[in-house]
Amino acid sequence: MGKLDGRVVLITGAARGQGEREARLFAGEGARVVLADVLDAQGEALAKELTAGEGRAVYVHLDVGREEDWAAAVTSAKNAFGKIDGLVNNAGILRFNELTSTPLAEFQQIVQVNQVGAFLGIKTVAPEIAAAGGGTIVNTASYTGVTGMAYVGAYTATKHAIVGLTRVAALELAAKGIRVNAVCPGAIDTAMSNPAQLDPEADTEAAAQALDELYRKLVPLGRVGRPEEVAALALFLSCEDSSYITGQPFVIDGGWLAGVSVL
């Protein structure tokens, strides 16, 4: 028995990183997964791989900031699997800039993907989950959804917004049998925090070592997080193990937010 047997879960940003790990884990737990991303080749390949194994998966092209893409993705998902009863709003982008140097277009682009994307996901998919008799939504906020971080102001603003959206959605959707929670990862070893993973010229060994050194000092548990650790939290929040939990942000950061140390 898988923890998600009989469920159909749409995961955004599923072509790589945390979304990919979530897709693999959820499929392994019996869910039929709808992989959504703008990286079509990677998303298609993952869907093919999961379907060749035990799982069942389809890929849909979905730019989360475009309402028409959401409508098309829901149609594809229902054509493939008949319903949707789970959503993981995982897609996101990060840009580094001082607030006073951030171009308006950059700020708005981050809002469009991270914040509008999560809003459109809830707006479009929650009625489908309700029609399926209830289910779950997991939003991907961040450590920066509950504290500040210099030079990522636009990103931080959107991640705070996602925590707010999560609380309101939980209040409004509880009566429809939908639980809504947020994961708030600290530093996780994906292309977002380790862009060397995407650069064929990069010395990935050296980049990984630099990252290890940085987080050994910054994070109480002494290391960067792994995408599969966030996937495990998303699974917990998507299955019956969390049946009495809704409206909450869950920090997964190796203790980074616990406080400061004077030694």
Which are the catalytic amino acids? 155
Q: How far is the CB of 21 from ligand NAD (least distance, A)?
A: 8
- Report the residue from 113, 122, 157, 235 that binds ligand NAD according to the rule CB under 6 A: 113
Residue 218 engages ligand NAD in binding (rule: CB under 6 A): no
Label residue 226 exposed, middle or buried (CB < 10 Å: 0-12, 13-18, 19+): middle
Q: Provide the 10 A C-beta neighbour count for residue 187.
A: 21
Q: How far is the CB of 85 from ligand NAD (least distance, A)?
A: 21
- Cross-strand partners of 225: 188
Q: Distance (Å, rounded) from C-alpha 167 to C-alpha 184?
A: 14
Q: How far is the CB of 171 from ligand NAD (least distance, A)?
A: 23
Residue 13 engages ligand NAD in binding (rule: CB under 6 A): yes
Residue 91 engages ligand NAD in binding (rule: CB under 6 A): yes
Residue 25 engages ligand NAD in binding (rule: CB under 6 A): no
- Classify 164 as helix, strand or coil: helix
- Report the residue from 31, 62, 125, 182 that binds ligand NAD according to the rule CB under 6 A: 62
Cβ closer to ligand NAD: 71 or 131?
A: 71
Label residue 13 exposed, middle or buried (CB < 10 Å: 0-12, 13-18, 19+): buried
Distance from chain centroid for Cα 259: 25
Cβ closer to ligand NAD: 174 or 221?
A: 221
Q: Considering CB under 6 A, how many residues would be counted as binding ligand NAD?
A: 30
- Report the residue from 44, 49, 63, 106 that binds ligand NAD according to the rule CB under 6 A: 63
Cβ closer to ligand NAD: 19 or 86?
A: 19
Q: Distance (Å, rounded) from C-alpha 111 to C-alpha 117?
A: 8
Question: Please, which residues have CB within 8 angstroms of residue 255's CB and are 6 or more apart in sequence?
Answer: 219, 220, 221
Residue 110 engages ligand NAD in binding (rule: CB under 6 A): no
Cβ closer to ligand NAD: 39 or 245?
A: 39
Question: Please, which residues have CB within 8 angstroms of residue 228's CB and are 6 or more apart in sequence?
Answer: 21, 25
Residue 136 engages ligand NAD in binding (rule: CB under 6 A): no
Question: Pseudo-torsion of CA 164, 167, 173, 177, nearest 10°?
Answer: 140
Q: How far is the CB of 18 from ligand NAD (least distance, A)?
A: 4
- Report the residue from 12, 156, 166, 181 that binds ligand NAD according to the rule CB under 6 A: 12
* Edge-first strand listing for the sheet containing 56-61: 56-61, 32-37, 8-12, 86-89, 135-140, 178-185, 249-252
Summarize as ranges the residues that interact with ligand NAD (CB under 6 A).
Answer: 12-13, 15-19, 37-39, 62-65, 90-94, 113, 140, 142-143, 185, 187-188, 190-193
